[in-house]
Amino acid sequence: MRPVSVSMLLLLAFGLLWSGCAPQKKYVYASRPAVQNVSHAIFDARIEPFKENNPYYVGFRLTVKNKTSQPLEINWDKTRYVHNTVDQGKLIFRGIKAETVQSGIPNDVIPAQGELLKHISPLVTVGVTPARYSAGPDDPTFVPGALPRGKNSVLLVLEQSGKLYQSTMTVLIVSKEIKK
């Protein structure tokens, strides 16, 4: 084995330093369509990707309007996030605790003729704030991460009088590099 010369080590160190200082590429993100609506005999629903002070999308604004005279429930344990036709798991929202995700997320009840608006994010893309770093009970446990490029869908599962209703809403997340 040959000894490594000082000049080779300096060249290697300079190369690592130079590559670490390379400028990051910047992108602009868009959703096609910007909003996806679905209408059913008992409900209207829509998703709209949102960025929440980020350059990229981190979740969806979900709106569900109950068109009936009976309560309508969102079954969060059956409602799914789908990316490019692959089920990626549950969707979560602010105020939910990590242990609740494991044990079962309670249904949201939408009263007769009522409407629900909720900001939801895929569990697969979120980060978890460790309890020791929490600022208190109002501090979010989950921090949403970026929605990936491609087809992003919400498979919404609703219940009314023991019957399940499913509807899928899809948006395409695209990005374009910003040239300087």
CATH number of the domain to which 161 belongs: 2.60.40
Question: What average pLDDT does range 163-175 have in this prediction?
Answer: 97
Q: Which residues contact 152 (CB under 8 A, 6 or more apart)?
A: 49, 57, 60, 81, 82, 83, 170, 171, 172, 173
H helices of 2-151, in order, are: 6-20, 98-103
Domain membership flag for residue 103:
yes
Domain membership flag for residue 2:
no
The per-residue pLDDT for 138 is 55
With a pLDDT cut of 90, the percent of the chain lying above it is 64
Beta-ladder partners of 36:
47
- pTM passes above 0.85: no
Range of the domain at 138: 26-177
Domain membership flag for residue 11:
no
**Number of independent structural domains in the chain:** 1
Domain membership flag for residue 10:
no
Domain membership flag for residue 16:
no
Domain membership flag for residue 32:
yes
The per-residue pLDDT for 143 is 79
Domain membership flag for residue 54:
yes
The per-residue pLDDT for 22 is 56
Q: Which residues contact 83 (CB under 8 A, 6 or more apart)?
A: 122, 148, 150, 151, 152, 153
Query: Between these two residues, 161 and 52, which has the higher pLDDT value?
Result: 161
Domain membership flag for residue 4:
no
